[in-house]
Amino acid sequence: MNPYQGQPGYLHNIGFSNSAPQSFGNPSPMPGFPTMGYPAPQPGYPQSTPYPSQSRPQSGYPQQNQAYPQQTQSYQPQNQGYPQQNQGYPQQSQGHPQQHQGYAQQSQGYSQPHSAQGYPSSQSYPAQSIPQSGYQQPNHGFAQSQYLGYPPSNPSRAYTASSTINEPKSKPTVVPVNPFEPREDAAVLRKAMKGFGTDEKAIIQVLTRRSNEQRLRIAFEFKTLYGKDLVSDLKSETSGKFEDLLVALMTPLPQFYAKELHDATSGIGTDEDVLIEVMCTMTNHEIHVIKQAYTAIYGTLLEDDLRGDTSGNFKRLMTSLCMGNRAEDFHVDQERAREDARSLLQAGELRLGTDESIFNAVLCSRSFTQLAAIFQEYQYLTGHDIDDAIKAEFSGDLEKALRAIVKVVRNKPLFFAERLHKSMKGLGTNDRQLIRIMVTRCEVDLGDISEMFQAKYGESLQSWIEGDCSGHYKKCLLGLLGLY
């Protein structure tokens, strides 16, 4: 039985449930590139409540100054009351009501900035030149970075659902160590590489038992303590695939993905398998961070390089995925799922030729939970799986990409288990693919992937690594599995 057919077996792996490690961070504003393409959040600013309150002092001060002359006028009756106060105590009580009248006028002056009269001037907020103020400009840029490429209401739903429902169910094999002493780890690595010979075991045990973020902190402390670059020292002390694996472990994840995508599109030919593996499995947040890292490193836009190196309907699919605009809520609209299933059927099997744009629109924009419902409705309508329909209607890289999306929706760990098996089967080993999956998934769901590998192939992932790799390279891969 095809494990991808029928009801999804791993619902907790739907969509962005396997959240990116903390080292992904948040997108930061980059002048000239991302901020130019996301004007959508700006029309919503005048409706937000914090901005009128911030602009209130600017419009309120002139009106408040108008109230002060009224305040001085209110003291005049008080001064007139002093001669009467000398005439006798009974008349002193008359001076106090006049004093209270003065404060009443003062309160009228202060109420003007808070009244509706002060707010019409705040309507000009989008047009006012806030960037001219040196202190307001960074805040204005940070507000844009929060909504970089996201609808304002989408991130809150996405991250709340991810953290409360799905995150505890995935099984990473590398978790942040606690307590964490980066300077002690830096000292261990320095000792392992100092003098003649190298203590590879110490290096493996430190780097495979720390998260990506912690490894970067160790490198920072290493340079602070010893004035040397940790990655450079690792390169000088190791070689071959073991060196490649250590360098991958020491690279920030967004930069690592950016380099993999750049190498897949540069030079002669294109490695479409890398593009499919990365672009079809990343969440919106991860795609936006990778795009910024890509631009920071190579000075070009990821979208432009993808479009320039691909063609046809596969290019359109990669462009749609590169936008990072997939719905990421967990609500399932069953009626809409039926409509989308009918649309896919009419665009494929019920017509001569195939309307690829319908498949592109549905599979790139619907949430993964919604896609699972659409695939189930398609099964009810036709009596066969949508994966069979895609194999019959498409070919080449587009077929691989669409089938990858279907597999990721239904069982993401199984998808990566198949990729690992493919990297090691037959003659030779696709070490780059093996390293990429082991490094990027160890903090997310490598435990689930290992279980799926055992279930599908009847052999453990450990046994395949031991049979296909050797030396310290093998030991380091096993360390990422928590077995060394």
Q: What is the percent of the chain where pLDDT is above 70? A: 66
pLDDT in tens, 159-189: 333 323 343 478 999 999 999 999 999 999 9
Q: Is residue 154 pLDDT above 60, yes or no?
A: no
User: Given a cut of 50, is residue 305 above it in pLDDT?
Assistant: yes
- Predicted local confidence at residue 268, as pLDDT: 82
Read off the pLDDT of residues 343-379 as tens digits, 9 standing for 90 and up.
999 999 998 889 999 999 999 999 999 999 999 999 9
In a domain, 54, yes or no: yes
User: For residue 228, what is the domain's CATH number?
Assistant: 1.10.220.10
pLDDT in the model for residue 484: 84
Q: Which of 25-34, 271-280, 412-421 has the lowest mean pLDDT?
A: 25-34
Q: Quick one: pLDDT at residue 169?
A: 76
Model confidence at 314, in pLDDT bands (50, 70, 90)? very high
How large is the average pLDDT for residues 226-233? 97
Asked if pLDDT for residue 402 goes beyond 50, the answer is yes
Residue 405 reports pLDDT greater than 50: yes
Q: How many CA atoms lie within 13 A of 322 on its CB side?
A: 20
Tell me: the pLDDT tens digits for 106-127? 434 433 433 333 433 333 333 3
Give the C-alpha separation, 343 to 389, whole Å.
13
CA dist 479 and 462 (Å) reads: 10
Cα→Cα distances 331→70, 74, 212, 370, Å:
59, 62, 32, 7
Q: Which tops the pLDDT comparison, 234 or 140? A: 234
Cα 57 from Cα 86, distance rounded (Å): 43
Q: Is residue 271 part of a domain?
A: no
Neighbours of 127 (CB within 10 A): 8
Using the 3D structure, point to which of 75, 90, 122 is the last residue of a domain. Answer: 122
User: Are residues 126 and 46 in contact, defined by beta-carbon separation less than 8 angstroms?
Assistant: yes
Higher pLDDT, 124 or 275: 275
pLDDT, one tens digit per residue, over 239-263 is 999 999 999 999 999 999 999 999 9
Residue finishing a domain among 214, 237, 260: 237
- The residue segments making up the domain with residue 194 are 182-237
* Percent of the chain clearing pLDDT 90 (strictly above): 62
Number of domains in the chain: 2
Which of the pair, 123 or 236, is modelled with greater confidence? 236
Q: What secondary structure does DSSP assign to 122-175, as a single string? A: GGGTTTS-GGGSTTHHHHHHHHHHHTTTS-TTHHHHHHHHIIIIIGGGS--S--
Q: What is the pLDDT of residues 68-120, one digit of tens each?
A: 444 434 344 444 444 444 444 444 444 444 444 444 344 344 334 333 334 33
Choice between 135 and 350, residue whose per-residue pLDDT is larger: 350
- Which range scores top for mean pLDDT: 67-71, 112-116, 415-419, 424-428? 415-419
CA dist., res. 163 & res. 57, Å (int): 39
Q: Band the pLDDT of 382: cuts 50, 70, 90.
A: very high
What is the rounded average pLDDT of the residues 391-410? 97
Which tops the pLDDT comparison, 39 or 367? 367
Alpha helices in 147-269 (DSSP H): 154-161, 182-193, 200-207, 212-226, 230-237, 240-249, 253-265
Note whether residue 4 is domain-resident: no
28-32, 122-126, 138-142, 231-235 — which one is most confidently predicted on average? 231-235
Residue 87 lies in a domain: yes
* Domain annotation covers residue 102: yes
Report the distance separating Cα 182 and Cα 226, nearest Å: 13
Select the more confidently predicted residue: 400 or 97: 400
Evaluate if residue 303 carries a pLDDT over 80: yes
pTM of the complete model: 0.70
- Rounded to the nearest 5°, which phi and psi values hold at 423? -70, -20
**Higher pLDDT pick, 478 / 156:** 478
Mean pLDDT over 122-138 rounds to 37
Residue 439 tokens read as 């490094």
Average pLDDT over all residues of the chain? 77
Distance CA 189, CA 199 (A): 9
Average pLDDT over residues 57-69: 42
Residue 67 pLDDT class (50, 70, 90 cuts): very low
Return the pLDDT at 58: 43
Chain segment 205-226, per-residue pLDDT in tens:
999 999 999 999 999 999 999 9
Q: Which of 192, 215, 237 is the last residue of a domain?
A: 237
Inter-residue contact 218 to 189 (CB < 8 Å): yes
